[in-house]
């Protein structure tokens, strides 16, 4: 058996291909359903390289320049303001909670958001991990209640001040 030139001669290979197809279709469907709220603005958005500055972290040893690459940055325009959502794709389940940021075990997304706010001048509204493996794609993250992300509400909604505190805490904890 072949499918678009790929040999699928075993039942296991056909099953894996079917699962991959469902996963990709689910992820694409999720992005398309969100496009009336947030629209993808950048893929693999780099900071700390080229024209975008790094995040500077103060440590006991001095300043450290943090660089990275964000899988996807989405934007939404509302009432003359620009809001951001950062998304990191994962091939296995990942989560982010207020507690995981406070403990310092989940700093990636808040640091990505800090970088994008600094680069764009826009306001952070949501930060998500998107599981892209399995039969469905889903977001797991934190968003600002009563803000731009209210229409997209998977994850945990927090007040704007708490969202800001979590971003600041992540930067402090990274140092």
Residue-wise pLDDT tens digits, 94-122: 888 899 999 999 999 999 999 999 999 99
d(CA 87, CA 110): 11
Residue whose structure tokens are 């991959």: 20
Residue 167 has pLDDT above 80, yes or no: yes
- Give the model's pLDDT for residue 38: 84
Please answer whether residues 85 and 65 qualify as being in contact, where contact means their C-beta atoms are separated by less than 8 angstroms: no
Counting every residue, how long is the chain? 175
Read off the pLDDT of residues 125-136 as tens digits, 9 standing for 90 and up.
999 988 876 655
Residue 44 has pLDDT above 80, yes or no: yes
pTM, full prediction: 0.75
Higher pLDDT among residues 166 and 23, named by residue: 166
Residue whose structure tokens are 């989940």: 106
Instruction: Tell me the CA end-to-end span of the chain in Å, nearest whole number.
Output: 54
Specify burial of residue 84 (Cβ count, 10 A radius: 0-12, 13-18, 19+): buried
d(CA 30, CA 42): 17
Read off the pLDDT of residues 132-164 as tens digits, 9 standing for 90 and up.
766 556 678 888 886 655 555 567 888 899 999
Angle at which helices 108-120 and 160-174 cross, to 10°:
110
What is the average pLDDT across 18-37? Answer: 58
Residue 70 has pLDDT above 80, yes or no: yes
Strand (E) or helix (H) holding 31: helix 11-34
- Give the model's pLDDT for residue 23: 61
């Amino acid at each position: 058996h072949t499918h678009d030139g790929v040999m699928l001669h075993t039942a296991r290979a056909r099953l894996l291909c079917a699962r991959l197809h469902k996963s990709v279709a689910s992820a694409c469907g999720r992005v398309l359903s969100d496009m009336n709220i947030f629209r993808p603005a950048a893929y693999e958005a780099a900071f700390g390289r080229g024209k975008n500055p790094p995040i500077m972290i103060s440590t006991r040893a001095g300043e450290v320049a943090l660089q990275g690459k964000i899988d996807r940055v989405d934007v939404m325009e509302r009432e003359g303001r620009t809001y951001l959502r950062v998304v990191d794709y994962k091939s296995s389940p990942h989560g982010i909670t207020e507690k995981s940021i406070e403990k310092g075990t989940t700093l990636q997304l808040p640091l990505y958001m800090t970088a994008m706010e600094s680069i764009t001048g826009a306001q952070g509204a949501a930060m998500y991990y998107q599981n892209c493996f399995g039969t469905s794609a889903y977001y797991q993250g934190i968003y600002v209640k009563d803000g731009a992300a209210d229409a997209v509400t998977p994850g945990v909604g927090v007040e704007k001040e708490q969202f800001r505190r979590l971003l600041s805490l992540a930067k402090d904890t990274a140092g």
